[in-house]
Amino acid sequence: MATTIGFCNLSPVFRRDMKSAYVKPKLPSPILKPLAVSAEQASIAGFAATATTSFAEKKKSSDQEGEPTKKIKRLLDVEESEEYCGGKRKSLKDYFEEAKSMMIRSDGGQPRWFTPIECGSHAPADSPLLLYIPGLVKVIERKIKSEKNGLGKRPIYLVGESLGACLALAVAARNPHLDLVLILANPGDPFKMALDNVVKGVLLQPTVEGLSQNLVSMLSYIPVRFKSQVLADILPKETLLWKLELLRSASAYANARLHAVKAQTLILCSGKDQLLPSQVEGRRLRCAISNCQTRSFNDSGHFLFLEDGVDLVTIIKSANFYRHGKIVDCISDFIPPSTSELNKVHENIRSLIAVTSPVMLSTLEDGKIVRGLSGIPSEGPVLFVGNHMLLGLELIPMITQFIIEKNILLRGITHPLIFFKMRDGFEGAFDLLRLMGAVPLSATNFYKVLSSKSHVLMYPGGGRESLHRKGEEYKLFWPEQSEFVRVAAKFGAKIIPFGAVGEDDVAQLVLDYNDPIKIPFLETLADDGVNINPRSGLSGEVANQDVHTPICVPKVPGRIYIYFGKPIETTGRKHELRDRKKSHEVYLQVKSEVEQCLAFLKDKREHDPYRNVFSRLIYQATHGFTCQIPTFPL
């Protein structure tokens, strides 16, 4: 029996404990408008998911020794007594009990399919299908083909780990005409594992012991009184040996057909996998499969999906793999970050926020400059236009503060390169930007994101400003002609110019694009020589968008300052600003006000008694580390 599970389409409320290290945050409004799906309340957010447990080809015996592994997949946290969609979420203990009574029996029947989540809501009709598979190839094929007729142009996601990953590759190779997305966790090649063991003088028994160590990690999620029962009844040594034999057969089949795999593939590799050489195998498959990316989890073991902090939904979204059609639509396919994702992001960047103590200023309608973002309109569309600091240092504090103080998610227009396949080792570098709603630069995407009434962040200087050379701090590299005014006017968007300073107090640029020193692995972030230039048709400095990695050294941190000027209205000016001359005048006005914002901040920060980190630490030591640190008088 196949059961399709849905998700609750709930708008999350930010947790009250999400505090800022530099601003005492206001309580957010009850609903964060742009954020629509809470991952901790969804099994697979945005998917019509079928969790499958297949136990075909069972070994016949009078008792349970040698039965196949009873694969029970935890798709989300399973804390006891936790609320879920108006009911109670079951614990892992409950699922082991149910699995023992329903799944663990040798009756020669068909593979059993079950869902580990019970929820009254169903997935939206346009959701893609996701299958978690440790089943057999032909069974999976039948399921895919039966479901595909009702999915239209939507893809089918196959999520497999270890043996399931080999089966997913085999299914993809046999069905290159189907639109499949493969998410493979720790796919293994037992031949390589055996060779490694021979070289090291390791026999099979230590290999099983290595797997047992991984099982200890998994069993940490199970109540103590159930551990011995689980080991004895569900995962005996014979079962592990049986699984290794299945894995050998499946990997041999899949390896012989890798050239035929056309599916979009994401391989998740654990750094501490004691059963399989997952990272080595991930790199091999990345080269062997034409449309493949990898992500490394250096501190994780073989059972990746059972570990805290590993969220399959977040991984898929961050890698830009979530889509409803043939290609990703950055607007309609975007699932906003959930509360737990935002909390994790905030936790990861807390130290940077603490040492730079950003100062945010905005301008009210009457022209008064105030501390904080009260001058920012809550309703979109709003277009923020400003300067890039080195490596976009202003992005983290800006996006974070907008979420905490205004409950607003900024959709940044970014270099298209961050959405392309990167050189091995750099692929996860921009996952955070994609998770937070980055949009690749193009006229179509800019039109779409403004039409959605979002708060949009644009940098006319683009990569040329964020990767500027030595001595070019705070210099604008804007195109000669307007790129955004007429589109903003079409939707009546408010244009807010802003300036950001502080990079020269945080880092020192040592090597830039012009330096004669050549470091091969830092020449470009692009893979296979790909270097996308979104402004190749323009002239001047802004057309020089070559991607490189500048070398910086940290300095005793000063402060980051961001000042948002008075909004420029375009409502009612749609027809007026169709005229190129008129729109160019507004474009020059915006550029001029950005330069004024920069000049204002560079002057005022000289009068900030807390510009240096040591003076800020002394202030916090006497007033508390959650206090708002003063700045220059306004």
Per-residue pLDDT tens digits for 414-459: 988 888 766 666 677 889 999 999 999 999 999 999 999 999 999 9
| 325-346 per-position pLDDT tens digit | 999 999 999 999 999 999 999 8
Reply yes or no on whether the pLDDT at 371 is more than 90: yes
Mean pLDDT (the chain, rounded): 76
Q: What is the number of domains present in the chain? A: 2
Domain end: 300, 318, 336, which one?
318
Query: Residue 12: its pLDDT value, please?
Result: 31
pLDDT band for 132, please (50, 70, 90 cuts).
low
124 compared with 396, residue with greater pLDDT = 396
| 396-418 per-position pLDDT tens digit | 899 999 999 999 999 999 988 88
Q: Are 394 and 450 in a shared domain?
A: yes
Contact 51, 73 (CB under 8 A): yes
Domain end: 291, 318, 345, which one?
318
Report helix, strand and coil shares of the chain as percent, to nearest 5.
Answer: 35, 15, 50
Question: Is 22 a domain residue?
Answer: no
**Order of strands across the sheet that contains 156-161:** 48-51, 129-132, 156-161, 180-185, 264-270, 292-297
Flag the least confident range among 262-266, 349-353, 548-552.
548-552
What percent of the chain has a predicted confidence (pLDDT) above 70? Answer: 65
Contact 329, 443 (CB under 8 A): no
Question: Is 254 a domain residue?
Answer: yes
Which residues neighbour 299 within 8 Å (Cβ) at sequence distance 6 or greater?
271, 272
Question: Is 340 a domain residue?
Answer: no
Contact 506, 557 (CB under 8 A): yes
pLDDT band for 64, please (50, 70, 90 cuts).
very low
Flag the least confident range among 47-61, 122-136, 438-452.
47-61
Q: Are 269 and 369 in a shared domain?
A: no
Reply yes or no on whether the pLDDT at 393 is more than 80: yes
Query: Residue 303: its pLDDT value, please?
Result: 83
Reply yes or no on whether the pLDDT at 246 is more than 50: yes
Q: Are 289 and 435 in a shared domain?
A: no
Q: If you compute the radius of gyration of the chain from its CA atoms, what whole number of angstroms results?
A: 27
Average pLDDT for 385-389: 96
For 347-390, the three-class secondary structure string (H helix, E strand, C coil) is HHHHHHHHHHCCEEEEECCCCCEEECCCCCCCCCCEEEEECCCH
What range defines the domain where residue 220 resides?
39-318
Q: How far apart are CA 284 and CA 426, in angstroms?
A: 16
Query: Residue 429: its pLDDT value, please?
Result: 80
Q: Are 466 and 420 in a shared domain?
A: yes
pLDDT band for 531, please (50, 70, 90 cuts).
low
CATH number at residue 175: 3.40.50
Flag the least confident range among 68-82, 145-159, 573-587.
68-82
Q: Are 446 and 572 in a shared domain?
A: yes
Query: Residue 474: its pLDDT value, please?
Result: 94
Q: Are 190 and 292 in a shared domain?
A: yes
Query: Residue 196: its pLDDT value, please?
Result: 52
Question: Is 346 a domain residue?
Answer: no
Nearest to 75 by CA among 54, 90, 56, 86: 90
Q: Are 254 and 383 in a shared domain?
A: no
Average pLDDT for 366-384: 96
Question: Is 510 a domain residue?
Answer: yes
Nearest to 447 by CA among 491, 496, 479, 385: 491
Query: Residue 233: its pLDDT value, please?
Result: 54
| 481-528 per-position pLDDT tens digit | 887 999 999 999 999 999 999 999 999 888 887 776 555 555 544 444
Exposed/middle/buried for 149, CB within 10 Å: 0-12, 13-18, 19+? exposed
Q: Are 51 and 173 in a shared domain?
A: yes
pLDDT band for 112, please (50, 70, 90 cuts).
low
Q: Are 281 and 388 in a shared domain?
A: no
169 compared with 249, residue with greater pLDDT = 169
Exposed/middle/buried for 366, CB within 10 Å: 0-12, 13-18, 19+? exposed
379 compared with 416, residue with greater pLDDT = 379
Nearest to 433 by CA among 417, 418, 447, 421: 418
Average pLDDT for 342-354: 89
> Six-digit token pair at 630?
């003063």
Q: Are 281 and 423 in a shared domain?
A: no
Average pLDDT for 270-295: 88
**Order of strands across the sheet that contains 561-564:** 369-371, 359-363, 561-564, 494-501, 382-386, 455-458, 410-414, 439-440
Query: Residue 541: its pLDDT value, please?
Result: 66
Question: Is 25 a domain residue?
Answer: no
> Six-digit token pair at 367?
């022209």
Query: Residue 630: its pLDDT value, please?
Result: 96
Provide the 3-class DSSP secondary structure of residue 240.
helix
> Six-digit token pair at 163?
């043996």
Domain end: 318, 345, 362, which one?
318
Query: Residue 251: its pLDDT value, please?
Result: 78
DSSP-assigned letters across all residues of 520-561: GGGS-SBSTT----TTTT--SGGG-------EEEE-S----E
Question: Is 23 a domain residue?
Answer: no
Average pLDDT for 203-216: 47
Average pLDDT for 378-404: 94
Q: Are 255 and 118 in a shared domain?
A: yes
Query: Residue 95: its pLDDT value, please?
Result: 64
User: Can you say whether the dihedral through the CA atoms of 38, 44, 46, 48 is positive or negative?
Assistant: negative
- State which H helix or E strand residue 164 sits in: helix 163-174
> Six-digit token pair at 617?
């630490």
Contact 628, 24 (CB under 8 A): yes
Q: Are 359 and 252 in a shared domain?
A: no
Question: Is 135 a domain residue?
Answer: yes
| 141-187 per-position pLDDT tens digit | 888 888 888 788 899 999 998 778 888 999 999 999 999 999 999 88
Query: Residue 189: its pLDDT value, please?
Result: 60
